Structure 1
Amino acid sequence: MTLYDLGWNARFEAEFADCLSKGWQPARLVRDNKISYGARLGDGAEMEVALGGAVYHEAATDAELPAVGDWVALEIGDDGNEYDAVIRARLTRQTCLSRKAPGKSTEEQVLAANVDVVFVITEAGQDFNLRRMERYFAILQRSGARSVVLLNKSDLYSDEENQVAKAKLCDLNPNVEVHITSALESAGVDVLRSYLKSGVTIALIGSSGVGKSSLINQLLGQEFLWTGEVNGVTGKGMHTTTARELILLPGGGMLIDNPGIREVQMWTDAKTLKESFSDFDHIARDCLFHNCKHGSDRGCAIQAALKAGTLSKERFANYLKLDEELEKLRKRRKKRQLTISRRIRRELKSKGEKYSRKYDVD
């Protein structure tokens, strides 16, 4: 095994040059243990590593801390602590899959770093929700990774139901590849394997109970992950994956498994949202006014398309909802930043007054 088998490339190598001169070694984070990390070196060795103080204090937010999939610089040696090495730096991410942290937080939550392909797992039945898929597509647009949808559990539905669901997804986003799979019957799993090769990292995301763990077991050729039952009443699955982990696959490539996502909250910007809804942007170019709000404005091409039925009312309503959600998040983040700035100014002022009093006395 080499670093390149783990996803190393010329860009990372160039950035690591300064770290190399300090005697540090490159490694990829494969597990987040909350108080430590699992890291894999180029020779395949795995070790438990601690987060260095400088890296921790230089991170302005939790999203800037190392995450599974990140490349880091390790200082290896006995420094008196219980870990094998210390993380001294995190390399710039090539791609980053993230969402707004669950709850009322205004923080970004990183789901996976340096991922090449992201597979969104869903099914043609109870989990199928076009509005939720629009949310997924928006966060995937920002990630920089290639996007693929797997309609899993195809054995539970008729060919017609699976094909109708696939057609709806293709209409929703023509740029996203959609495949029909069944982990139970091993149908379509070869399609998933076709994306994998040495050095390529994929990530699987989706609701609980859509068969992510079963697909991973198929890729590994063994029962590596426990698979759970779906609640017969709610149609929701249990969280069989409880922590993010980067798994080396026997046929080459790597996979980052994520716990089931029940809350797909946006973490993007207005520009990326528009790119995700590019069909709206094309229509909006025909609006009479460049600053059209797409409401009751005269000459609005969007409203004309809605009346003509060439634009989905449900899709447009969801776009407005997501846009409003982003605006609220922007305002909350701005308010939080102002609060932090005021607190810092007060602390600096207080320290300055204490210093002045001490100086006057002396």
Structure 2
Amino acid sequence: MTLEDLGYTSDLEHYRTEHGLGTFTIGRVIAEHKERYVVKTAETEYDAEILGNLRFSAQSRADFPAVGDWVAVSEYDDDKALIHAVLPRKSVIERQAVGKKGEKQIIATNIDKAFIVLAVDRDFSINRIERYLAICHNSNVEPIVILGKIDLIEAAASVELLESVRKRVKDVPILTISNESKQGIDELKQMLDQGKTYCLLGSSGVGKSTLLNTLLGQQLMQTDVISEHTNRGKHVTTHRELKVLESGGIIIDNPGMREVGMADSVGGIELTFGTILELSEECRFKDCSHTTETGCAVLAALETGAIDQASYENYLRMTREQQHFESTVAEKRKKDKDFGKLMKNYKKGNYKK
């Protein structure tokens, strides 16, 4: 296997040369386990950890390596290595960190396309699709919607469901598949290009790991059934992991996400709700919130049915979340700045003594 098979590019090699990293081995992070990483190179795999100065210079968790990252490493044992640097990321898929105000969680890096996987037989939600779309658009990652387990509903219901999705999701490929009957699998395989990286996004139990096993042609990822009591999927995939397919495509599997919180993704929201963005240009007020203002083109379109009510409400909800996230980031920065001033004054006082 070559680095190019893992997605390595000439731009990364140029950066490596320009920044004096030529003496290090280059590899890609294929798994993460509580700040210990599995790094795959052209020749082998290492159990790796980050160098001390890299740890202490990090401004936030986002500065640490993540699955999909390219890193410069040095071997210090047969299968162990130290990570000296993280190479620039061409894309980062991230969401608001669960339970942590003003912080983001990296889902995966250096992604070309994302497969948004939903199961048609359980917690299917177009609102959830729009959330994932906003995250992808904000990350400059091309989204593809996959409606899985299509064999579990009647053909007529399948057609109706597909039409409802297409009504709200514009200009995004939508594919219906079944891991059991293999419907749509060949079409999906044709979308996978050598050296390109794909990410699986979706809730627990929608069939992401089963789909990956199908694409791999072997049972490498553990799978489980849906709980009959809660109708929820179990977190079978407990960590992010990168796999290389025989076809040459590279796929990152992710633990299921029950919360898809909006971070600083205003651009992604605007691209996802393009119709609302276009109409907002016709609003009477430039700072129109599209809720109560006179002369709001968005509200006018809502009344005529030109905009879907559920999509409009989801847009408002996601916009509020994004604004709240930005306010918590500003609040956190102010607290950090005030604390820094306090410590600086404290040290000055001690030095005078």
Please, what TM-score do these two structures have when normalized by structure 1?
0.93
Q: Are residue 268 (structure 1) and residue 264 (structure 2) matched?
A: yes
Task: Spell out the pairing of 1:44-123 with structure 2 (5 A cutoff).
Answer: 45-77=44-76, 84-123=80-119
Q: Is the 8 A contact 1:202 1:254 kept in 2?
A: yes
Q: Is the 8 A contact 2:150 2:177 kept in 1?
A: yes
Q: Give the 3-state SS of the residue equivalent to 2:209 in structure 1.
A: helix
Deviation, structure 1 residue 19: 4.6
Query: Considering only aligned residues, what root-mean-square deviation do their CA atoms show, in Å?
Result: 1.7
Which residue type is aligned with residue 42 of structure 1? A
Tell me which structure has the larger Cα radius of gyration. Answer: 1
Between 21-30 and 8-17, report the one with greater CA deviation.
Answer: 21-30
Separation in 2 of the partners of 1:62 and 1:106?
12
Unaligned 5+ segments in structure 1 are: 358-362
Q: Which residue, out of 173, 178, 187, partners 2:169?
A: 173
Between the aligned residues of both structures, percent identity stands at 32
Between 119-128 and 143-152, report the one with greater CA deviation.
Answer: 119-128
Aligned pair in 2 of structure 1 residues 246, 21: CA closer, same or farther (>3 Å)?
A: closer
Q: Is the 8 A contact 2:263 2:326 kept in 1?
A: no
Please, what TM-score do these two structures have when normalized by structure 2?
0.95
Between 316-325 and 266-275, report the one with greater CA deviation.
Answer: 266-275
Separation in 2 of the partners of 1:301 and 1:21?
54
Task: Spell out the pairing of 1:114-193 with structure 2 (5 A cutoff).
Answer: 114-193=110-189
Task: Spell out the pairing of 1:1-362 with structure 2 (5 A cutoff).
Answer: 1-21=1-21, 23-43=23-43, 45-77=44-76, 84-357=80-353
Q: Is the 8 A contact 2:70 2:86 kept in 1?
A: yes
Deviation, structure 1 residue 198: 2.2
Q: Is the 8 A contact 2:209 2:221 kept in 1?
A: yes
Deviation, structure 1 residue 241: 0.7
Separation in 1 of the partners of 2:100 and 2:21?
43
Separation in 1 of the partners of 2:3 and 2:295?
57
Tell me the alpha carbon deviations over residues 151-203 of structure 1, each in whole angstroms, 9 at most, x when there is no partner: 11011011222222222222222121100100011111112211223211111
Separation in 1 of the partners of 2:35 and 2:309?
47
Tell me the alpha carbon deviations over residues 238-296 of structure 1, each in whole angstroms, 9 at most, x when there is no partner: 11111111112122221111011111111233233222211101122222333333233
Aligned residues: 353
Q: Is the 8 A contact 1:136 1:264 kept in 2?
A: yes
Aligned pair in 2 of structure 1 residues 228, 204: CA closer, same or farther (>3 Å)?
A: same
Q: Is the 8 A contact 1:184 1:214 kept in 2?
A: no
Unaligned 5+ segments in structure 2 are: none
Q: Is the 8 A contact 2:101 2:329 kept in 1?
A: no
Q: Is the 8 A contact 2:27 2:70 kept in 1?
A: yes
Q: Give the 3-state SS of the residue equivalent to 1:16 in structure 2.
A: helix
Tell me the alpha carbon deviations over residues 69-112 of structure 1, each in whole angstroms, 9 at most, x when there is no partner: 0001112335xxx9722111111111111111112432110111
Flag the structure with more relative contact order, 1 or 2, with Cα contacts below 8 A and sequence separation at least 6. Answer: 2
Q: Give the 3-state SS of the residue equivalent to 2:135 in structure 1.
A: helix
Tell me the alpha carbon deviations over residues 196-229 of structure 1, each in whole angstroms, 9 at most, x when there is no partner: 2321111111111111111111111111122111
Q: Give the 3-state SS of the residue equivalent to 1:304 in structure 2.
A: helix
Q: Is the 8 A contact 2:226 2:233 kept in 1?
A: yes
Aligned pair in 2 of structure 1 residues 36, 295: CA closer, same or farther (>3 Å)?
A: closer
Q: Is the 8 A contact 1:147 1:176 kept in 2?
A: yes
Deviation, structure 1 residue 21: 4.9
